[in-house]
Structure 1
Amino acid sequence: MIDDHRHRILQAAARVYTLHGWRGATTRRIAEEAGVNEVTLFRHFGSKDALLEQMMRDLAAQKDQMRLPDVPQNPERELIAWAKAHHSETCGKRPLIRQMMSDFEERPDLVPCAVEGPHSAMSQLRRYVSQLHAGGFIANAVASSEVDAAVTMFMGAVFADGMNRDVMPIMFTQPIDDTLRAYVRIFLRGLHALPEAVWPLAELQVSAPLTSSSE
């Protein structure tokens, strides 16, 4: 019952916050939406700020289907599946994310809570690139600055597509599956990944360090 109350309050907080923003998401509104009294809300979270910050962290947390494999087998297929999961998650939370972004200027202290998930995703993608190199999918050394730029552009493209496809269709004329596949292929080409035809030979190659000292 305790866990159920906590879950219901967090879900209610997300719904109320999406409609009313930080100022309008009062504990009374959230408690009514969750079907509990304010005493129960405060017993679980202590304050409105703590509740909404936890709500943001939970919603930004990485889901199991949004994790790349530790050992790459098929980079294009794995990255497309990962991009689809992130895109779907972004689309599903679009109104909430927009509300959060509108509050950032007035409440910059919210930013660390809201970006824990994206930071984790970027770190995961960087590790995956390292594993691609270790597995022979990327044959030559890639400067760390180029890896960072490629990761940023790839994630930025997926996020922008998920956030804006509904309001700026002129920018996104291709079906989402085709677009995500194109993002992945551009990402891999930017990292100088080997073509699929030579993947079976990748394990026989000797890997050089991923990060080059001379950029």
Structure 2
Amino acid sequence: MPCGPRVYSPPMTHRDQLLQAAVRVYAEVGYRGATTRRIASEAGVNEITLFRHFGSKDALLREAINRAEDAVVEPALPEAPEAPFAEVLEWARRYIVGLRERRALIRTCMGEIEEHPGLIPPEGSPPAKAAKALCRYLRRLRDLGHAKADFDESAASALLMGALFADSMGRDVIPDMYSNQPEEALREYVRLFLRGIGVEQSDPAGDA
């Protein structure tokens, strides 16, 4: 049986190997444990190659973390809101999945931000982009009359994103705090959030 055309995937460069290895090692053991020798070994190259490409460990880690963040595909919200609960729920579902996938890296970055603040991009990060997108959506909800409460969209966005962040980072650490199932909790976060900004549309599943 004839096969379809082969898709050619170019081999990874040493630079790409080092960037991927740096993220894995840093997420696992942090800044001190992520020695240049360990990163080079994980990448399958020698330390000379590492320094030839990046010059220093900090430069390598900074670029590796930036690249990992840039690779995140942010969930989208519609330009013209029609079904706020369904739209925000789908956005929240995709956002929290992304947080869980990057949980190890995020935890390490947060634990070391005071000692190594330069490694983490302050602007243009996935959370910053997501917050801006959610703020724009909330303004459209208000302009169209879907959100009837008087609220600050930045504070409202931070409220929902904070709940999603806490769940994604804390559910496996303090399970007693999260007695309901992830999907059930997600729907409740969205219900409470929309109720708080004056959106009257309810959860269809909850009304069934």
Aligned-pair Cα RMSD in Å = 2.6
Give how far 1:194 is off. Answer: 3.7
**Higher helix share goes to which structure?**
1
Identify which range, 39-48 or 22-31, moves more after superposition: 39-48
Contact 1:94 1:163 in 2 (8 A): yes
* Equivalent in the alignment of 1:169: 175
Contact 1:56 1:114 in 2 (8 A): no
Give how far 1:165 is off. Answer: 0.4
Aligned pair 1:153/2:162, yes or no?
Answer: no
* Equivalent in the alignment of 1:132: 141
* Equivalent in the alignment of 2:69: 60
Unaligned runs of 5+ in 1: 198-215
1:142 to 135, 150, 154: 150
In structure 2, how many angstroms separate the alpha carbons of the residues matched to 1:92 and 1:75?
A: 26
Structure 1 residues 62, 31: closer, same or farther in 2, change over 3 A? closer
* Equivalent in the alignment of 2:199: 193
In structure 1, how many angstroms separate the alpha carbons of the residues matched to 2:137 and 2:71?
A: 15
AA matched with 1:158: L
Aligned pair 1:100/2:106, yes or no?
Answer: no
1:48 to 57, 73, 78: 57
Structure 1 residues 136, 95: closer, same or farther in 2, change over 3 A? same
Give how far 1:4 is off. Answer: 4.3
* Equivalent in the alignment of 1:81: 90
In structure 2, how many angstroms separate the alpha carbons of the residues matched to 1:65 and 1:113?
A: 17
Give how far 1:25 is off. Answer: 1.1
Identify which range, 177-186 or 108-117, moves more after superposition: 108-117
Unaligned runs of 5+ in 2: 1-9, 204-208
Paired residues, what number? 194
Contact 1:13 1:52 in 2 (8 A): yes
In structure 2, how many angstroms separate the alpha carbons of the residues matched to 1:62 and 1:81?
A: 20
Give how far 1:27 is off. Answer: 2.1
The 3-state SS of whatever aligns with 2:157 is: helix
Contact 1:12 1:30 in 2 (8 A): yes
TM-score (norm 1): 0.77
